């Protein structure tokens, strides 16, 4: 039993490393207006808006005062990577946010419903809450925006 376990552990670690190395994506940097508290929504596949900026292999998401960023980028990048969150001010001075204390409820989803004519899909929406856990408890999740259903 012990020999089997000693053989399985390295094999499992190797599989985990292989899986993680094949599902990498560009790092995401989120720039959030200074002192913003509330839900952030990033709405993809919006033709009339700019694509997500890239800088040195990093995706840069500059969130507007409204907390809703619309982008022509077709979909979120999936895979393993790191994410950083910063408050920014008028002079673009940045202050790093503590993810464990200030970022909550990070989700990615799309709008799907079924009508008599078949499946109707809306664009991918990424959302997360910026603020303390106490502030999160007092701020309801906005859910998927109804106006995005096609």
The string of pLDDT tens digits covering residues 72-123 is: 999 888 777 789 999 999 998 999 999 999 999 988 877 665 555 556 578 8
For the record, the structure tokens of 106 come out as 């990070």
Q: What average pLDDT does the segment 134-144 reach?
A: 91
- The partner residues of 127 in beta bridges, in order of sequence, read 41, 107
For residues 55 and 77, the model is more confident at 55
Q: Say which residues have a Cβ less than 8 Å from residue 73's Cβ, sequence separation at least 6.
A: 44, 45, 51, 52
**CA distances from residue 100 to 39, 45, 69, 113 in whole angstroms, order as listed:** 16, 29, 23, 34
For residue 49, the model assigns a pLDDT of 96
Do the bridges between strand 83-88 and strand 28-33 make them parallel or antiparallel, or are there none, so unpaired? parallel
Angstrom distance (rounded) from CA 27 to CA 59:
6
**CA distances from residue 18 to 14, 15, 26, 27, 125 in whole angstroms, order as listed:** 6, 5, 18, 19, 29
Using pLDDT thresholds of 50, 70 and 90, give the confidence band for residue 42: very high
Give the H or E element holding residue 55: strand 53-55
Angstrom distance (rounded) from CA 107 to CA 129:
10
Angstrom distance (rounded) from CA 63 to CA 39:
11
The rounded mean pLDDT for the chain is 83
Q: What average pLDDT does the segment 20-26 reach?
A: 65
For residues 107 and 6, the model is more confident at 107
For the record, the structure tokens of 111 come out as 């709008």
For residues 51 and 7, the model is more confident at 51
> Minimum mean pLDDT among 30-44, 72-86, 125-139: which range?
72-86
């Amino acid at each position: 039993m012990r020999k089997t376990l000693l053989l399985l552990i390295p094999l499992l670690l190797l599989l985990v490393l292989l899986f993680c190395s094949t599902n990498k994506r560009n790092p995401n940097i989120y720039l959030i207006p200074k002192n913003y508290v509330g839900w952030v929504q990033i709405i993809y596949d919006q033709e009339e808006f700019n694509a997500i900026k890239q800088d040195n292999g990093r995706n840069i998401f500059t969130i507007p005062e409204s907390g809703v960023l619309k982008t022509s980028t077709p979909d979120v990048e999936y895979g393993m990577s790191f994410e950083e969150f910063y408050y920014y001010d008028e002079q673009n001075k940045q202050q790093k946010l503590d993810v464990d204390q200030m970022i909550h409820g990070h989700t990615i989803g799309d709008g799907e419903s079924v009508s008599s004519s078949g499946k109707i899909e809306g664009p991918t929406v990424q959302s997360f809450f910026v603020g303390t856990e106490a502030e999160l408890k007092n701020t309801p999740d906005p859910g998927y925006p109804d106006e995005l259903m096609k």
